[in-house]
Every structure is written in C-alpha cells, then in structure tokens.
Structure 1
Amino acid sequence: MTNSNQPKKEFEQISAAQQQAILEKYDVESNTRNLSGVMKHVIFFGLLAFSLFQLYTAIWGQFPAQIQRTIHLGFGLTFIFLLFPAKKGGRKDKIAIYDYLLALLAVVVGLYWTFNYETLVQSFGILSQVDFIVGLIAIFLVLEAARRAVGLPITIIACCFLIYAYFGAYFPDFMAHRGQDLESLVSLMFYTTDGILGTPISVSATFIFVFLLFGAFLVKTGVGQYFNDLAVALAGKLVGGPAKVAIFSSALQGTISGSSVANVVTSGSYTIPMMKKLGYRKEFAGAVEAAASTGGQLMPPIMGAAAFLMVEFIGRDITYWDIAKAAAIPALLYFTGIWIMTHFEAKRVGLSGLTDEQMPKRSDVFKKIYLLLPIVAIIVLMLIGIPVMHAALYGIVISIAVSFFSKDTRMKLVDIIEALVDGARTALGVVAATAAAGIIVGVVVKTGLGLSLANSLVSLAGGNILLTLFFVMIASLILGMGAPTTANYVITSTIAAPAIIALLAPDATGAAIPIAVLLAAHFFVFYFGIIADITPPVALAAFAASGISGGDPIRTGFNSAKLAIAAFIIPYMIVFSPQLLMIDTTWYATLWVVITAITGMVAIGAGVIGFWYRKMYWFERIIAIATGLLLIMPEKITDFTGIAVFIVLLIIQLMTKDKNGDASPQRVTV
C-alpha cells in the first residue's frame, strides 16, 4: 500500500530530543536555557516585543541609525544573557544572578542613544565620563554575548583586533599604525557608525531580521517537512535515490535556514536514516547530508545573512537581486557536483532508489505544491524591483495566506505569535555576530589593516594570481572554522577579499573597480568561509551529521569535503570566468562556461569516485581528473582539449563497461 506517509513509516526520523542534543553539541546558537514559570513568559513576550519593534520600523520607517541599531542591539544582548548560560554545562532551568545584572546593563546600553541622542550627536566625539563607561560596558557585553551565542573563535578574533588597535605602534612595519588610546577606541566602537553600530548590525537590524521572520513563518506552514516529501517524490526512485533526496531537500532547506548545522539536523534526521537503511556507509550518508546542507547557504533566492552584508559591503548600487542572480549558476554547479559524485558512488556500490512501496503517492505530494508560493513570490517581487525588505514583508503575509489553503497548515493567532517569537529567538546569534563583526570592521577601517594585509598577501605570492588565491583560500578556511557564516564573511571580506581586488584591478580604486572584480573577490571568500563547515579538522556540519549517522566524525568530514570538491573549484572559476556571475556578459558565453564546467565535473567526479560506467583503473582516474580541470579552466585551447579527451574516455568506458565487474545498480531489499 502506498500513501504520502509511507516514507515516514519506513525510515524513522531521530527524535526531537536527539535532534536538540546534536544541535546543542555542535551549534552554539542552540545551547539555550529551558526556563519555566514567570521568566519563561517574560522572555516570550520580550521576544515578541523585539519582533514587533522590527516590524514597526520595517513598515513605517526606521529611527535615526544610532537609535535603531542600539535598540536592536539592546534587545539582542538582553535576551542572550537571559537565555544563554555562561558555560556550556551551566544550569538551563535557572538564570544566574550575574546574568540578570548583565541583562540590565544590556537594557541600559540599548536605550542610551535613545535618551541622549541630541547630546551625543552634538558632542563631536568628546565623551563624558558616563559616556565612556557606558561605551566600555557595551564593548564588554558584545564580546561576552558573542562568546555565548556564537562561539569563542569570533570573540578571540575581535579581542585580537582591539589589542591591535590599541598597541598598533608596536607591530611590524607593514602592520604598524600610531595606535588608539582607550577613549578614542571606545568612541570609535560605540559612538560612531564604524564600529559596533556599523554596517553589519545595520543589516541585521533591517534586512536580516525581516527575512528571519519570513523563515519562521515558512516553518509554521509545514514547508520544512514538505521539502523532504517533495524531494522523495522527485528523486526517490533514481539511482542512489536517498542521497539525491538529501541533496534536493537540503538545497530547498537553505531557503529557510542560515546555518549549516541546523540544516543538517533538520533534513538529515530524515535523510540519513533513509540512506543507511538502503545500504550507504555511515560516513558517506553523513557526508552527503553535510555537503548538501552546507550548500543551502549558497542557494538563492535566500542565501543566509551574509548575502545581505555583501550588498552593503560592495555598495555601488548593487541590489540583493544582483547578488542572488550572480549566485544562481555557482550554486547550480555546486549541487550538480555533489549530485554527480553521489550518482557514481551509488553505481559503484550497486545501490538503486526506493521501491514503489517506499515511495509517497506523488499526487498527494504535488497537491501541496502551493506551500512553495511564498518563496516563488519573493523571487518575483525582487525580480520586478520591489525593495528587499518589502518583499520579505509581503512574503510573510503570503505565508499566512497560503497556510489557509489546508486545515492542516492553517495558522491561528497563537501560531502567528509563536512565529514572531521564533524569528526573534533565531536573530539573537546574528545580533551578537554582527555586533562583534562591527568591532573587526571598525578596526580595519580606522587602521587601514585590510589594505596592508592585501598588499602583503600579493607580495608574498609574488604577484602570481593562483598563489594569491590559494593563500586567500587557506586564510578564509581557517577564519571560517567554528565561526558562523555572518561573522566569517565579515572577517574574510575585510581582510582577505582586498588582496584579490588589488591583484585583479591594481590601478583601480573606489568607483573605478569593476563590479565583476568586486563580486568575484567577495564570492571567493564567501564560498570558502562557508565550506569551512565541511573542511576537517573542525567541519562542524560533518560532525553534526556523524552525530545522526553514528559514523566517525573525521572520516565523515573528509568524505563531505570529497563530495563537495566542486565547492573548492567554483570560487577559482568565478575569478577566472566572471561570466558565471552573469555580469557584463552574453547568454551564449555564460552557457558555454556552464556546459564545459558541468562536463568537467562529470570527469572529476568519475575520477575521484573511481567509477563511471565501470570501475576505473588508477591511471584512468588521473586522466579523468586532469581532463575535468582542463574543462573548468576558461581558455579555448583547454576547453577543446578537455572535450576531446573526455569523448575518448567516454567511448572507452562505453566499449568496456562489461569489464572489471559492471556494478549496475541492484535493488536493495530492506
């Protein structure tokens, strides 16, 4: 008997308690208190007030920048200290006395600009003793909140930058500056819009928060589970179906989740048990989910908080739609690469898709296709030029309207209120990350460190573009390990991206730098900062996946990095083939680059896995990988050479596919 619930019966998800335990272990933002009594209600209504404030300013206009951002900061800091214990093993049923004190100080910091706006604006940076103390407290609260809600790496980096700003005169010549006294540093951090109240938290207080609310409302419609059902209906019967379900589902989940780890736990709790039961190794099952879930942040139209920051950092009249459009082909190539690798792995071990009995009834699944309408609406609205924030607001309204199409998904008033609270709770980590990132940006801007490091990287590479890109890649991977996407993008875009820009446009400054160069540099560090989540030894997404699969975390990490090999290649392609970003190019030039890139990934995938139409000899694997690299390089001679060798390899595979044990897929009996 087949019905829409059949896959859920065949492949049980891990329990909600297990999901939460994995999230708390690998995702710092999920390690919150579980309170009861009066404080539970205080926090609930406080978070509701946070969302209502943000909605009010999104609809009727924002307050002056300093007021808007400090109120946003105050809300975030207050609830971080009330919800996040000071240490991982701390009590989760009770708030410590010192946390009440810290929350009270956060309220003072959040309201200080509101009650002293005129005085502070007219002070021209001259601080009173009270101003200085409040600013110093604000810096401390941001660092401590970031440690609790985001993790230790971003806090250590921010502290290092503060030390650099203060002791600048004692650093090596290429990094040296005159240094900032403590009052100047406090003024920069809290009383200008270049530090904590700078661009990162500005984006958090506007675009990011509204899109997080949109994601919370989408979840209330049941779209998360629907992504799984739709993925099974479309890909379940293909060769290696369960793995392809994971890829498809995780790409969709990326539209409502800005966290690789959260994405792994949400979709992986369903797809990983399915893959294991159909014969996939534990490490491979976890790796597929980790690689696909990490790529969710690269998938437009909603790519996580970092994409909104990219709009502001690049400037130059770039819109969010320009970023989403530029990300489309690279994201397609990323998921195509994982799809190809899992396809060859499934053929190698002889696994097929789900049986008819294990498949849902497709007509039942497609009846709920209306659940995707809010996402489609967002795309259309941005395409016709509706401002991003308004598009997100319309998306929320459409999500509520769509929920009424079925009594199973219909939102009641309590559901709407809960979505507002959930959205605010999700935003807490972003508030802490962007505030701490503001410290880093402020120091870089004030000291000129970004340009100094960029010139040093270029000099270290001897002006060689490939070597410079390699150094930037390593720096981005290291800086991205253990840091959330928002924070690692801010760090890498201010420290590493200028090196690429300096090399690609050495004589251009400001508005003279080509848009294609700016986008290529920012996408390069954006990609490597994200795939740090699946790059050993840290690989948080892979570790979370291993918590579900029961596999070895390190092996899962190496498997996920192997499956996502396209992610290590695509950023280089973007730099050398800006046509991929659909900027200043023709459709046929873009199409040619896409075709050769996908063909190259087929060759690389076969070479890495060691199977195409049959098992490959070691020298065939080397030739296949080399052929793929030739096809990816944006030169006519390499493209035509690669195509010629590819055709020869394909013909040989087809002619000899019965040799060496053709592992044609066999149905696995469960």
Structure 2
Amino acid sequence: MIKKNKVKETEVVSERKLAGRVAAFVTIFAIFTSLFHVWMNSASLMIAIKKNALHLGLMLGLTFLMYPATKKSSKDKPTVLDWILCILGVSVGLYILFTYDSLVERSLIPNKLDYVFAVIAIILTLEAGRRTVGNILPMLSICFILYAKFGYLFPGKLAHQGFSWSRILTRMYLTDGGIFGVTLMVSASYVFMFILFGSFLNKTGTAKFFNDFALAFAGRLRGGPAQVAVMASGLMGTISGSSQANVATTGSFTIPLMKEVGYKPRFAGAVEAAASTGGILMPPIMGAASFMMASFLGIPYIKVMYAGIIPAIFYYFAIFTMVDFEARKIGLKGMDKSKLPDLKKVIKEEGHLMLPIVIILILLVKGLTPLYAAFFGLIAVIITSMLRKSTRMNMKKFMEALEEGAKSAVPVATACGVVGFIVGVVSMTGLGQVVALNIMQLSFGQLWLALILVMVASIFLGMGLPASACYIITASIAAPALIKMGVDPIAAHFFAFYYGTLSAVVPPVALTSYTAAGIAGANPIEVAFSGFKLAFAGIMIPFMFVYSPILLMQNVVAWKLILAFITGLLGIISLAAAAENYFFDILKVYERFLAFAAAILLVKPGIISDAIGIGLLILFISFHSIRIKKIKETATIT
C-alpha cells in the first residue's frame, strides 16, 4: 500500500473534499458551467476562439477551487492564492471574449495588455494541468515552448531559426493555433457534451442496468464475475469514454464478486483495469481523442466510430479469452443461477435506459454532428428516465448531473489546453515533418520497424500522459511518418490512439490499475503488471488494422473483411494462449513458441502468411491436444 500512495502522490494531487459555503459555491459554479456549455453548444452563434476561451476560463476557475496546489495544501477549502488564480483563470477567458474583435481590427498586432494576459494564461494553464493530470505534460509543454524559442541551438535537422517571445505569446494565446486550437475546441464542444450526457445517464441508473444485464448474461460463464466485469466495462465504455470512470463505476460491483468466487485480489483488480481501459475504444462514445481524430483527419465522427467497431470487438475478445484461460487454469466455474438476476426482467424493467444511446446512434448514422447528437441525447435521457418511477430524475438528481458533468470535464479540458502548446509548436516549427523523416530513416524504410518505433514512443509517452494528450502528441509527430510510408491516414491515427489508450494499464504509471487496486485492496504494482499481461493479447491489434485497413471499415469488400476478421480472432487466441501460457493445460516451451509464431503470422494479411499462421495454429493445438490426451490416459491407467 505504501507503493500505491507513493505513485499517486507523484502523479496527481487528489481533488479537494469541500464543505460548507465553499462547497455550495463550487456546486453553483459547476452547474452554471454545464448550463452555459449547453447554451453555448446549441443556441449560441459565438465564434470558435471565443467559445474555446470561455471554456478554458471556466475550467481554470473550477480547477483552482477543486484541486490543491500540493499534497500539503488545504484539502477542505481553497487558499487565498487559489481564489486569486480562480479569478484570473476566468479573466483570461473573458479577456478574449471582450477584446478579440478589437484585436482583429488591429490586424492581430498585440498591445502590452494582450501580452500580459498571454503570459498569465500560459502560466495558469500549465499550473492547472500540473494539478489535474500531473507534472509530465506541463513539463513536456514547457520543453516544446523553449524549443520554439531556442531552436537555433539544437543540432542537425532539429534546428530552426527560433521565434521571438512576442511571436510565441501571440500564437499561443491570441490565435487558434495554440491553447485555443483544435484540441480545446473538441473539449469545449463534443467532449464536454458527451461527458455531461454520461453524467445524466449515470443518474438514471444506467450503470446499474449495465451491471445487472452483464451479470444475467455472462454470470454463468466460466470465471463468471470476471466475464461480467469484461462485459459490464465494455457496456459502460459506450457512454463514459474514461477508463478510470469505468473502474470506479463497474469495479465497485465486479471486483468484490470476483474475490468472492476465488480470484485473487491482484487478478480481480487487473481484470477490471484491463476491461475498463477498453472503454475508451468502444463506440459509439469513445474517448476524447476519437473526436480529436475526426477533427485532425477532417472526417465526420461517424467514420471514426465505424472504424472503431472491430478494434473494440478484438480488444474485448482478447480480454475475454485471457480471462477464460485463467479461469480454466485455476479451476473456476460460473456463478450459481439462483444468485443471478433474470435477464428478461432486467430488460423489461431497465431496458428503456438504452433508448438515449440508440437515439445518439441513429442521429450519428444519419450524418448529424456529434454535437447535435449529444444535445438531443441529453433531452432523450431526461424524457426516457420518466418512463419508470425507479429511474425518474428529480430536481436533485438533475442538478447533481450538471455538477458532476462539469467537474468530470476539468481534467480533460486542462490537458487539452496544455497539449495545445505542443500542437502549436509542432505547427510553427515543422517538427512533425522532421520527426517523420527521422522515423523513416531509423526504420530503413521498413514499415514493421517504423510501427514498433511508434508503438514504443506512444507507450512511453502514455506512461505519464492522459490518453487524449498521448494521442495528440503522437498523431502530430509520429503519424505523419506512417502516412508517408503508405499507411492509410485513419489507420495511422488509430495506431497512435490505440497505444495512447493502452498506456492506462502499462506499468509503472498505470493509473487505471491503481484505481482498481484501491477497490481490490491489492498491491497496485502487482495489479498493474497483471493488468498489462491481460491486455497483452490486445497489443497486436493495431498492427492488424495497419496491415489490413479493411478492419477499420476502409474500402470494404465483404469476403476480405470476413477473412481478415476470422484470422484476426485466431491470431488473438494464439497470442492469448502464448501470453497466459495455457490452452487446455500449461504449455510446453515449443507449444508456446508455435502459438506465438502463429499469432505473428496472422497479423499480416495475405494468403501465404494466413495459411502458414493457421497451419502453425493447427500444429500447436494438435501437439498440445495429443500430449494432454496421453497424460489423461496415463492418469486413468494409474
């Protein structure tokens, strides 16, 4: 437990537990923030930079009231300095609102006051990021800002002429090429509205419905509660877009169940962490990075959503298979039917809670924007909740949903603001093209090696960054290299998105695993490594869709898609067996090697590679089955 506390303290200071008048003020502030965003994203005709500025200003204000500066700061009320920073945070947003028109009239030539507010905005954004998502992202952003200034000091191809401080300040604060760029635009619109949508769904009892449905559907399967955790986390992922929110919501229910039937606390936490991580990959409402991907690629979100279907199926199939092998290994069975809810009754009494998600899907499929879908999804939640007394929202729940929605959006918004510096510098300096060229040179033009380099870079970046920040950086710097090497653009961006997501279970900084460890009462480091092992079978999935973009619904030909899908599932089974070191029994070294080799060959599409991969898989299963049969026969004779 000491290790757990140490990790958390070095990453993010816990949110304050406010009370009294201060808590009431923050509640009112958060409710106003949510209502303002609903108005801003529906009836308002405000231009993007003003909307982004107000979004950041409100989020900064909430940050300094909700999050203490250090672990030694007051945990129950803001300090005088926090109140000053809160006022300044709101002010930097209002300043853009009231002065941007005059700035345009001045042909974007700043005055001294503009520079003053630019400095304040940059400092406050970095500090807010430090408080909410940890030190690494703000430090990385500072490095990029210094690179923009002192680029002439760097060696070789990384060198550039450097920019003046006035140019940097102007770009970062007074244009949409810095803090108020695409990342914050996505946060202010799509992400905030879908977070609010998820908050309203939770208040209607949708999380309970997902748990009941998963328990009724999967509880009798081998490993019962573990498979319930996989299914419930996948369902919850359709609306939350947050791995840690998934753990907190479903883990409090599934982890105790897993421990009750015989899973060790370490493994129970790991199952929930690995399953919850996939929630970011699960359509229709994926993680914040998916909306940014749509903006970066200039395509409708519905295309990103379609592209995410098969990778999400593959990921959860991989977790399901790993859990099944573990259940076989330790001899676990499904839960007793008498302890499970009736599936028909669950659907009859709570199934109406799925209607808002269905409505959002229909609106997206019809080609309407995510913003439009989220707005009408919110209305649908309120209306459908009225269909049953048990799910009906009263005024208290309504206000709580507004409050929780705004508070949940704070870490995402601050991270998007901080990462705006990185995106801005990459754009100013052309760093993305330089890195892309270097990756191509380091990989000697070999795509498989370039993919491994980008994978390693994404995982290392993700160790200290939120998934959305990791994706943005990787997509800005490394994805261009893959595209230049002939990779489909959406596959290149999904590759970055996927490994940024997996960072949530990659030790040593595996925040989702630490959250699950707290619920399981287990050692967080052990949970982190066990969670990574469970997610390991999913490691090969991005390589599959890079080599076979048809898995992302690109240029679909029915028979090719079916073939790629089937060989992909076989590859996942092979890798899961090799990673878990189990199939019908513990594997011999040569059997494990055959399973791993089959998995690698099934990653790359092609008649020859697929045929050899399937051949090796058949060989592995044959050798393994014959050996197990002989052992059983010997045991019977004895």
Q: Which TM-score bucket, shorter chain as reference? A: over 0.9
The 5 A counterparts of 1:7-86 are: 25=8, 31-86=14-69
Structure 2 residue 295 is the aligned partner of structure 1 residue 324:
no
Which residue of 2 is the match for residue 397 of structure 1? 379
Structure 2 residue 227 is the aligned partner of structure 1 residue 244:
yes
**C-alpha distance in 1 between matches for 2:604 and 2:542:** 12
Q: Check whether the contact 1:614–1:661 (CA below 8 A) recurs between aligned residues.
A: no
1:537 CA drift (Å): 1.8
Change (3 A) 1:634 1:541: same
Unaligned 5+ residue runs, structure 2?
634-638
Q: Check whether the contact 1:23–1:544 (CA below 8 A) recurs between aligned residues.
A: no
Which residue of 2 is the match for residue 513 of structure 1? none
Change (3 A) 1:276 1:526: same
Q: Check whether the contact 2:7–2:509 (CA below 8 A) recurs between aligned residues.
A: no
**C-alpha distance in 1 between matches for 2:28 and 2:547:** 51
Which residue of 1 is the match for residue 466 of structure 2? 484
**2:100 is aligned with what amino acid?**
Y
Which residue of 1 is the match for residue 107 of structure 2? 124
Q: CA RMSD, aligned part only?
A: 2.1
**C-alpha distance in 2 between matches for 1:277 and 1:599:** 32
**What secondary structure does 2:540 align onto?**
helix
The 5 A counterparts of 1:587-666 are: 587-655=558-626, 657-660=628-631
1:84 CA drift (Å): 0.9
Structure 2 residue 308 is the aligned partner of structure 1 residue 337:
no
**What secondary structure does 1:255 align onto?**
helix
Q: Which moved more, 1:322-331 or 1:367-376?
A: 367-376
Q: Check whether the contact 1:188–1:442 (CA below 8 A) recurs between aligned residues.
A: yes
**C-alpha distance in 2 between matches for 1:276 and 1:500:** 44
Structure 2 residue 185 is the aligned partner of structure 1 residue 202:
yes
Change (3 A) 1:62 1:32: farther
1:502 CA drift (Å): 2.0
Which residue of 2 is the match for residue 99 of structure 1? 82
**C-alpha distance in 1 between matches for 2:130 and 2:346:** 43
Q: Check whether the contact 2:11–2:135 (CA below 8 A) recurs between aligned residues.
A: no
Structure 2 residue 280 is the aligned partner of structure 1 residue 280:
no
**C-alpha distance in 1 between matches for 2:12 and 2:392:** 29
1:304 CA drift (Å): 1.5
**1:608 is aligned with what amino acid?**
A
Q: Which moved more, 1:577-586 or 1:254-263?
A: 254-263
**C-alpha distance in 2 between matches for 1:492 and 1:361:** 46
Structure 2 residue 184 is the aligned partner of structure 1 residue 213:
no
Change (3 A) 1:627 1:60: same
Structure 2 residue 410 is the aligned partner of structure 1 residue 421:
no
**1:618 is aligned with what amino acid?**
V
1:557 CA drift (Å): 2.1
Write out per-residue CA displacement over residues 205-228 of structure 1, whole angstroms, 9 at most, x where no aligned residue.
111111111111111111112211
**What secondary structure does 2:238 align onto?**
coil
Match of 2:489 among 496, 503, 518: 518
Write out per-residue CA displacement over residues 301-325 of structure 1, whole angstroms, 9 at most, x where no aligned residue.
111211110111111xx11110010
Change (3 A) 1:404 1:30: farther
**What secondary structure does 2:621 align onto?**
helix
1:276 CA drift (Å): 1.6
Change (3 A) 1:500 1:26: farther
1:239 CA drift (Å): 0.9
1:658 CA drift (Å): 4.2
Match of 2:337 among 356, 360, 377: 356
Write out per-residue CA displacement over residues 150-192 of structure 1, whole angstroms, 9 at most, x where no aligned residue.
2111111111111111111101121111111111111010111
Q: Which moved more, 1:442-451 or 1:558-567?
A: 558-567
1:362 CA drift (Å): 2.8
**1:319 is aligned with what amino acid?**
P
Which residue of 2 is the match for residue 170 of structure 1? 153
Whose helix proportion is higher, 1 or 2? Answer: 2
Q: Check whether the contact 1:198–1:438 (CA below 8 A) recurs between aligned residues.
A: yes
Identity score, percent? 42
Change (3 A) 1:257 1:25: farther
Write out per-residue CA displacement over residues 538-575 of structure 1, whole angstroms, 9 at most, x where no aligned residue.
22222222222233333322222221123210111111
Unaligned 5+ residue runs, structure 1?
1-17, 506-516, 663-670
**C-alpha distance in 1 between matches for 2:53 and 2:567:** 49
Structure 2 residue 175 is the aligned partner of structure 1 residue 183:
no
Write out per-residue CA displacement over residues 64-118 of structure 1, whole angstroms, 9 at most, x where no aligned residue.
2221111111111111111111113421212101111111111221111222122
**2:180 is aligned with what amino acid?**
L
**What secondary structure does 1:309 align onto?**
helix
Structure 2 residue 355 is the aligned partner of structure 1 residue 381:
no
Number of aligned residues: 630
**What secondary structure does 1:504 align onto?**
coil
Write out per-residue CA displacement over residues 312-371 of structure 1, whole angstroms, 9 at most, x where no aligned residue.
1111xx111100100100110111011111111111211111012322233332221111
Match of 2:328 among 343, 347, 354: 347
Match of 2:513 among 542, 551, 563: 542
**C-alpha distance in 2 between matches for 1:194 and 1:551:** 45
Q: Check whether the contact 1:23–1:30 (CA below 8 A) recurs between aligned residues.
A: no
Q: Output the TM-score relative to the length of structure 2.
A: 0.95
**1:596 is aligned with what amino acid?**
T
Change (3 A) 1:527 1:292: same
**C-alpha distance in 2 between matches for 1:26 and 1:236:** 37
Q: Check whether the contact 1:606–1:621 (CA below 8 A) recurs between aligned residues.
A: yes
1:661 CA drift (Å): 5.9
Which residue of 1 is the match for residue 143 of structure 2? 160
Q: Check whether the contact 1:217–1:416 (CA below 8 A) recurs between aligned residues.
A: yes
**C-alpha distance in 2 between matches for 1:634 and 1:23:** 45
Structure 2 residue 227 is the aligned partner of structure 1 residue 227:
no
Match of 2:444 among 446, 462, 466: 462
**1:421 is aligned with what amino acid?**
E
Q: Check whether the contact 1:497–1:521 (CA below 8 A) recurs between aligned residues.
A: yes
Q: Check whether the contact 2:227–2:323 (CA below 8 A) recurs between aligned residues.
A: yes
Q: Which moved more, 1:151-160 or 1:119-128?
A: 119-128
Q: Output the TM-score relative to the length of structure 1.
A: 0.91
Q: Check whether the contact 1:614–1:659 (CA below 8 A) recurs between aligned residues.
A: no
Q: Which moved more, 1:455-464 or 1:611-620?
A: 611-620
**C-alpha distance in 2 between matches for 1:113 and 1:126:** 14
**What secondary structure does 1:564 align onto?**
helix
Q: Check whether the contact 1:348–1:611 (CA below 8 A) recurs between aligned residues.
A: yes
Which residue of 2 is the match for residue 510 of structure 1? none
